[in-house]
Chain A
Amino acid sequence: MLRKFSFFQMRKLKETVIEKGLQASALVTIAVTVGIILVLSIEAILFFKEVSIIDFFTDTQWTPLYTDKHFGIITLLSGTLLTSFIAIIFAVPVGLSISIYISEYAPRSFRKTIKPALELLAAVPTVVYGFFALTVVTPFLQTFIPGLAGFNSLSAGLVMGIMIIPFVSSLSEDALHAVPNSLREAAYGMGSTKLQNAFRVLVPAASSGIIVSIILAISRAIGETMIVAIAAGQQPRLTLDPTVPVETITAYIVQVSLGDVQHGSLEYRTIFAAGITLFIFTFLLNTISYRIRKKFREKYE
């Protein structure tokens, strides 16, 4: 009796230890977030001790690596937003059309083969896309846009668009697919075509899922690094002209990391100040999309 009791006691102890170990592993993810926030904010605070936060947001030049230093993050932000905007303008209509076609028009067997094939687009390493933008897309665009510079946000943005097509199409297709069939049948019963059904019934019904896919694609485009570092150039410039070289926040961090920058110097801290700006943007976008997704899930389950 005593032995049996201690066997169960041992077993219970072992179970508790294992559970705690598993829990600790899960808590590592919290530590990562806390780590990111701490690292970025500590270095950024040190940065803002030397550079006024008003200059950071209002200066229109970004030249921390020159003798005449300016720290206008808007300059880098404009590069980031411009390339992302081009990518989104390209990827959203294409991705959305793909999702409608696959979920409403294409035969079911087609859906099973085309989805993994499209996801291959997202599996290609981004450094490879950068090479594509620089050596294929830019020369091609130069044949009919004469003033296009060798480095430009147009070709970087378009190639980034190709990369994020599967993000838009896959999630939107899931959302369309989840719309109850009764809605489709009702629309067909009223004599609508597939197209009318898609745009007047299904897209509005799946709108939250589609919005989530677009937000995630934007967040992805803003954080994308190698394509813009390779193909968009490394010249910080406050412009909306897609044909000239620009520099994004991410490309700047890469540029500084490649050089010989002393730890603890102001130049070193600029990459954290730039990093926290990037982090806040993507954090907001991710949080919004998470909220919408939660709501959306409740709607259909």
Chain B
Amino acid sequence: MNNIKKNRIKDKAFKVWGIACTFLGLILLCIFIGSILIDGLQRIDWGFITNLPSRKAERAGIYTALMGSVWILIFTTIIALPLGIAAAIYLEEYAKESKLSSLLEVNISNLAGVPSIIYGLLGLEVFVRVMEMGASILAGSFTLALLILPIVIVSTREAIKAVPKSIRDASFALGASKWQTVSQQLLPASFGGILTGVILALSRAVGETAPLIVIGALAYVPFAPSSPMDEFSVLPIQIFNWISRPQHGFEINAAAAIIVLLLITFIMNGIAVYFRNRWQSKFK
């Protein structure tokens, strides 16, 4: 009898422990966001968003970094989206079981685990040096596009896989070719899922710092970029630069810029979750 009681107490204790663990991370995140808001919120005004960088903390703004992030985001999407979706369609609908397709499979799973800084080294040598793009927006976008490619491919495959087989059969029965089936049935049907994956991948790209530092993105850019061949900075690099300065004013700036960055990340994640929920209910 005694033993059973002991086991029940242990069981209860673990339940409490489990709840504590589950909320530990989230509570820490809340504490952190709270402290950032206390530090940074006072600093955020229209001037902070639209001012050019400055050596004086009170006058410095994030305009050039923010514009750099927007440019990077646009070009990363243009490069990674068609490539990732095409690769996913091939793997999911066309590839037959062969050595090549299993190699592709292992390779993509491996690429997803390569540290982001390694992509930076690849970009530095291939895009910046060999292709002579310099530390430009284009070089940065190519680097980040390769970085998020595995994520786009994996999530697109999941989305295409979720389309019921009956839709494929119906399309083929009506005499459609493979490509007609893919482009007119499967892609529209999996659109929501693909979109979710792409937005999540882009929200990862917008927060990436290390690979862009490695390819030589600058911490200080006097003007907002106006062409894809321009030098650039991005929001995370601006934050990193401000963190590494000793003056307290820049720490406040960093907190304020983090608020902007987190807002962008969370909004993108929110949109992705919204699309996922809407899309998932479509097939159920």
Contact = CB atoms under 8 A, between A and B. Distances in A.
Partners in one complex: yes
Contacts of A89: none
A128 B113 contact: no
B213 interface: yes
Interface in B150-205: 150, 153, 177-179, 200, 203-204
Given A28-B83, A28-B87, A19 B243 contact: no
Contacts of A254: 117, 210, 213-214
Contacts of A45: none
B121 A101 contact: no
Contacts of A25: 82-84, 86-87, 90
A227 B177 CA distance: 50
A285 B113 CA distance: 9
Q: Which of B32, B91, B113, B117 has the most CB of A within 10 A?
A: B117
A36 B126 CA distance: 9
B1 interface: no
A62 to B, nearest CB: 17
Interface string A159-188: 000100110000000000000000000000
Contacts of A271: 121, 214
Contacts of A14: 179
B255 A131 contact: yes
Contacts of A289: 113
A125 B209 contact: yes
B117 A263 contact: no
B269 A123 contact: yes
Contacts, number: 247
B262 to A, nearest CB: 7
A286 B109 contact: yes
A23 B29 CA distance: 43
Contacts of A114: 22
A219 B255 CA distance: 29
Interface in B121-142: 121-122, 124-126, 129
A76 interface: no
Given A118-B25, A225-B116, A257-B214, A39 B121 contact: yes
B15 interface: yes
A275 B117 contact: yes
Contacts of A43: 125
B207 interface: yes
Nearest to B217: A257
Interface stretch (B49-57, B70-78, B99-107, B224-232): B99-107
B17 interface: yes
Interface stretch (A53-61, A63-71, A191-199): A191-199
Interface residues of A, number: 84
Contact of B107 (A29, A166, A263): A29
Contacts of A145: none
A29 B213 CA distance: 23
A102 B23 CA distance: 12
Nearest to B19: A101
A11 interface: yes
B216 interface: yes
A29 B110 CA distance: 10
A121 B210 contact: no
Contacts of B210: 126, 225-226, 229, 250, 253-254
Interface string A202-226: 0000000000000010011011111
B31 A222 contact: no
A97 to B, nearest CB: 4
A130 B179 contact: no
B239 A223 contact: no
Contacts of B243: 127, 130-131, 134, 230
Interface string A121-153: 101111110111011100000000000000000
Given A35-B122, A226-B240, A286-B109, A11 B153 contact: no
Interface in B58-112: 82-84, 86-87, 89-91, 94-95, 103-104, 106-111
Given A22-B90, A29-B150, A257-B214, A128 B117 contact: no
B115 A282 contact: yes
A136 B179 contact: no
Q: Closest 10 interchain pairs by CB? A: A223-B115, A101-B18, A125-B207, A25-B86, A22-B90, A286-B113, A225-B210, A26-B87, A193-B11, A97-B21
Given A26-B86, A100-B18, 7 more contacts: A32-B146, A95-B21, A97-B14, A105-B14, A106-B18, A162-B29, A253-B121
